[in-house]
Amino acid sequence: MCNYSFENLLPVDENGYYGEFGGSYIPEPLKVRLEEVNKAFRHYINDMEFLNEFEDLLHNYAGRPSPLFLAKKLSERYGAQIYLKREDLNHTGAHKINNALGLGLLAKRMGKRKIIAETGAGQHGVAAATVAALLDLECVVYMGAEDVARQQPNVMRMKMLGAKVMPVDAGNATLNNAVDAALSAWVADEEAFYLIGSAVGPHPFPEIVARFQSVISFEVKKQLEKLIGRNNPDYVIASIGGGSNAAGAFYHFINDERVKLVAVEAAGKGVGTGESAASITEGQTGVLHGSRTKVLANADGSVKEAYSISAGLDYPGIGPLQSYLAENGRTQVLVADDKEALDAAFLLAEEEGIIPALESSHALAALKKIKFEADDIVVVNLSGRGDKDMGTYMKYMIED
Ligand SMILES: *Cc1c(COP(=O)(O)O)cnc(C)c1O
């Protein structure tokens, strides 16, 4: 018996629209592939054998349920009951493995032999390569040539896990171009499955990723019930890059208006400096990677390079669900800049003995920006661990 519930609680229609956002803006040849994924997903998400296998891997391979930890010193500092959802303790160090396992199992059930993935900093590439090794699937990861040069440890991890890393030279040779290359490779290869890394892209990917990541908030409900006898918090706070850890942390609370949902974008060097990744705060509605959503754009309408100290938030768009929730006031959108995220990371390390990922540090940085009541129950989604960011943290320690 699968204990998780993957029922659809999203404000999405059958064409993948969240209000005016979402949909599927793709070339004709991709439609066949997406239709096939959509059909398989609708079938297997109700298939007990599939769900049992997914749950077994989440528990015994990824290490779920991840703990919900009451951070006493942070609680004292900010004047509320602050709990950390410890996604940093998952295998491979972040929430990304939840979705990678779900999609990998789906690929397997569909009879695919090969996984195609894109990666920026390499975190999703590593999760995809991990699952491909586990499930005996071939794995090809597209990565901008610039990123390949910058992210050698993750490139080597992917290779050790048996994946092939394909450097992409087009454009500015970063994530944006890697996504395009991965999609083209998928069109050309019937035996491949596109294992997307966040709640972005054309329908049905944003919905599938959100539903697989929903295990996060499902567990939070159970854990709070046990800890405090109440199954909903006053606040859930999560960082947003593409929006998948936020989707998972918000999921089972989206329709519970008593729970305040806070999404934290990376402001990079600051809102208004032209160097940020704050797609909701500074972006406009446009189409990016097959989905109508909030996008950072130049004056001529072309997609603008995003910047953040955190590679996982450095994306010029945001999934359609997050655009919708923000536009309708269901989420409060805050920003944290590079410096605020760094300070929050060092504070957590010193106060609670946890070195967080830089992405997660943006969520932590929002704590000082909210006015809490003393008995407020606050859940911060600690999306990942900071090992991968030690280079950046070391640089900051030397400069200080
Ligand atoms: C990739 C990543 C993110 C950002 O991606 P989302 O899809 O927005 O969750 C956040 N935290 C960590 C640790 C990541 O690796």
What is the reported pLDDT for 383? 98
> Are 17-60+96-209 and 68-93+214-399 in the same CATH fold?
yes
Residue matched to tokens 């019930």: 225
> In whole angstroms, what is the distance from residue 334 CA to residue 261 CA?
11
Tell me, in angstroms, the distance from the centre of ligand 1 to residue 299's CA.
Answer: 28
Residue nearest to atom 3 of ligand 1 (CA): 312
Write down the domain spans for the chain: 17-60+96-209, 68-93+214-399
- Grouping H, G, I as helix, E, B as strand and the rest as coil, residue 195 is coil
> Which atom of ligand 1 sits closest to the CA of residue 244?
7
> Which atom of ligand 1 sits closest to the CA of residue 88?
13
Pair of tokens at residue 372: 């809490």
Per-residue CA distances from 293 to 12, 59, 173, 296, 314 (Å): 14, 34, 23, 10, 16
Residue 301: exposed, middle, or buried by beta-carbon count in 10 A (0-12, 13-18, 19+)?
exposed
Confidence grade of residue 240 (pLDDT, cut at 50, 70, 90): very high
> Which atom of ligand 1 sits closest to the CA of residue 197?
7
> In whole angstroms, what is the distance from residue 211 CA to residue 206 CA?
9
User: pLDDT tens across 328-351, in order?
Assistant: 999 999 999 999 999 999 999 999
Residue type, position 254, single letter: I
Pair of tokens at residue 356: 């967080």
Q: Percent of the chain beyond pLDDT 90?
A: 93
| Long-range Cβ contact pairs of 34-43 (< 8 A, separation 24 or more) | 34/202, 34/203, 34/204, 36/110, 37/106, 37/110, 37/193, 37/194, 37/204, 37/205, 37/208, 38/203, 38/204, 40/106, 40/109, 40/110, 41/106, 41/204, 41/208
Confidence grade of residue 122 (pLDDT, cut at 50, 70, 90): very high
Tell me, in angstroms, the distance from the centre of ligand 1 to residue 313's CA.
Answer: 7
Cβ density class 371-385: b for 16+ within 10 Å, e for less: ebeeebbbbbbbbbb
Q: On the CB side of 185, how many CA atoms lie within 13 Å of its CA?
A: 22
What is the reported pLDDT for 2? 84
Segment 3-10 mean pLDDT: 97
> In whole angstroms, what is the distance from residue 144 CA to residue 125 CA?
12
Per-residue CA distances from 164 to 114, 124, 156, 202 (Å): 11, 14, 10, 25
> In whole angstroms, what is the distance from residue 173 CA to residue 155 CA?
15
pTM above threshold 0.95? yes
**Any ligand 1 atom below 6 A from CB of 217:** no
Domain spanning 17-60+96-209: CATH 1.10.10.10 = no
What sign does the CA torsion over 80, 81, 86, 87 have? negative
**Any ligand 1 atom below 6 A from CB of 214:** no
> In whole angstroms, what is the distance from residue 62 CA to residue 53 CA?
13
Pair of tokens at residue 234: 């006053």
Mean pLDDT value across the chain: 96
Tell me, in angstroms, the distance from the centre of ligand 1 to residue 157's CA.
Answer: 18
Q: CATH for 68-93+214-399?
A: 3.40.50.1100
Q: Which of 359, 382, 390 to mutate to test the pocket of ligand 1 (most atoms within 8 A of CB)?
A: 359
Sheet holding 291-295, edge to edge: 17-18, 21-22, 291-295, 284-288
User: pLDDT tens across 156-187, in order?
Assistant: 999 999 999 999 998 878 888 899 999 999 99
What is the reported pLDDT for 87? 98
* Whether the predicted pLDDT of 146 surpasses 90: no
> In whole angstroms, what is the distance from residue 110 CA to residue 263 CA?
34
Q: Which of 126, 208, 216, 239 to mutate to test the pocket of ligand 1 (most atoms within 8 A of CB)?
A: 239
User: pLDDT tens across 249-267, in order?
Assistant: 999 999 999 999 999 999 9
Rounded to the nearest 5 degrees, what angle is found at the Cα of 250, between the Cα atoms of 248 and 255? 130
Tell me, in angstroms, the distance from the centre of ligand 1 to residue 300's CA.
Answer: 29
Q: Which residues are catalytic?
A: 96, 118, 383
**Any ligand 1 atom below 6 A from CB of 386:** no
